[in-house]
Amino acid sequence: MPYMAAEQFSAVEVIRAKRDGGELSNEMIDWTIDAYTRGVIAEEQMSALNMAIYFQGMNRNEISRWTAAMINSGERMDFSALTDPSGKKLATTDKHSTGGVGDKITLPLAPLVASFGVAVPQLSGRGLGHTGGTLDKLEAIPGWKADLSNEELFSQLSNVGAVICAAGTGLAPADKKLYALRDVTATVEAIPLIASSIMSKKIAEGTGTLVLDVKVGSGAFMKDEAMARELAETMVNLGTDASVNTVALLTNMETPLGLTAGNAIEVEESVEVLAGGGPSDVVELTVALATEMLAGAGIKDVDVAGALQNGKAMDVWRRMIAAQGGDSDAKLPVAKESHTVVAPAEGVLLKLDAMDIGLAAWTLGAGRARKEDSVQAGAGVRMHVKPGALVRRGEPIATLLTDTPEKMERAIELVQRAIMIGSADDRPDTRLILDRIAAK
């Protein structure tokens, strides 16, 4: 067939090479991503290649080239000419989290960094399963819109300094197709494919500096610290190879971040942080990530924590929300039904399992099982204590919120399962930041 003869390689040739442990050449990788995007490589063939990669892995050059090929399947944003209204050139910096429970950090982080004169183009996503989505949280604010044109995005960055919005369909379209296939072929966990999926979109965004928050623990995608470290190192290498100043923090996701897991209640908690209050772990991680983002953009030795206390970051938050049609002073949605789970015994709260709390919030309506599902803005779990605290029998541990009371029973079971109470001798390690990983 003339059409097949025009192709540089065949899918079987590529599959066989990786199946047998060989290194895929640059030309082979470029052809594979392009041919799959064009439909020349069939879904079953790409499934076989994904599985071969899962078992045989990829070296640094292969992963870097694979990522570049996915970037080249679509558009790449360019912020090199971005200036503020006075004409001053703006550096750009971005953050990516691998996802967790109660992870509302983007909400206070973007305006905090922007308050120091660095632009933050934060292209975010929606939640799926037990992990919450940044866009779902912000859509709890009346009037706020997630979708912006490139022109609106650039204008808001110039005038406000921070944007949190949905990523356009033009960024790394090959990844969207490939991710859907990985999701149904048990190859999501392949580190080369995870790393290239995340980094192809982040590099295509065009930011100059990228800070990665790689979560590890019960509520994280990576449960094992060694695997989380490998993923972090791989992504840092990819960013470095693409001339993006990239660092990663390994952070603890055995326990939910903060005291809320939901949408409106996480917005509420984020505003508390911007007002100088909020849970200590949310403040700690926000400040740590902001410090890394600013340092990568050349701004060091500044009082990051002070910007949360003096209102600078709150001012940017209000302008950022208003620029996208939201009313930051409007009352947030409140769930119709609530139930409080109490401590079954006296002692030290040793565990409040992030996965079970995330599943409870999802069950109550805060998350979705399929991308097309809707979410309840007011649903979620409000926690009253964190691991390490002394609790008495009957003391409130968490309040469950939902508009659909028939979901309450299962959510209660999940929260009860999340709780472990013991003696002070078994007090848990509650460190939040486990390590910092930079380019080697």
Q: Is 369 exposed, middle or buried (0-12, 13-18, 19+ CB in 10 A)?
A: exposed
201 is catalytic: yes
| Given the residues 18, 65, 96, 215, the one annotated as active site | 96
SS3 33: helix
Candidates 379, 319, 290, 357; CA nearest to 109 is 290
Judge residue 281's burial from the number of C-beta atoms within 10 Å of its C-beta, 0-12 exposed, 13-18 middle, 19 or more buried. buried
Q: Give the active site residue among 104, 201, 202, 382.
A: 201
Other residues' Cβ atoms within 10 Å of the Cβ of residue 151: 8
Q: Determine the Cα–Cα distance for residues 432 and 230; give it in Å rounded to an integer.
A: 19
Is position 368 annotated as part of the catalytic site? no
Kind and range of the H or E run holding 226: helix 225-241
Residue 88 designated active-site: no
Distance between CA atoms of residues 382 and 263, nearest Å: 11
Catalytic residue, from 126, 130, 137, 182: name it: 182
Q: Token pair 């599902």 is at which residue? A: 373
SS3 62: helix
Contacts of 97 (CB under 8 A, 6+ apart): 103, 105, 106, 212, 213, 215
Which ranges constitute the DSSP H helices of 275-419?
280-296, 304-309, 312-323, 354-361, 408-418
Active-site position among 30, 136, 175, 353: 175
> With the CA atoms of 259, 265, 269 and 272 taken in that order, what torsion angle do they form, in degrees rounded to the nearest 10?
-140
201 in Cβ contact with 167 (< 8 Å): yes
Spatial separation of the C-alpha atoms in residues 327 and 322, rounded to whole Å? 6
Q: Is 407 a catalytic residue?
A: no
Q: How far apart are CA 243 and CA 439, in angstroms?
A: 11
Contact 166, 144 (CB under 8 A): no
Which of 64, 124, 197, 218 is labelled catalytic?
Answer: 197
Query: Is 84 noted as a catalytic residue in this protein?
Result: no
Cβ atoms of 175 and 70 within 8 Å: the answer is yes
Q: Which residues are catalytic?
A: 96, 175, 182, 197, 201
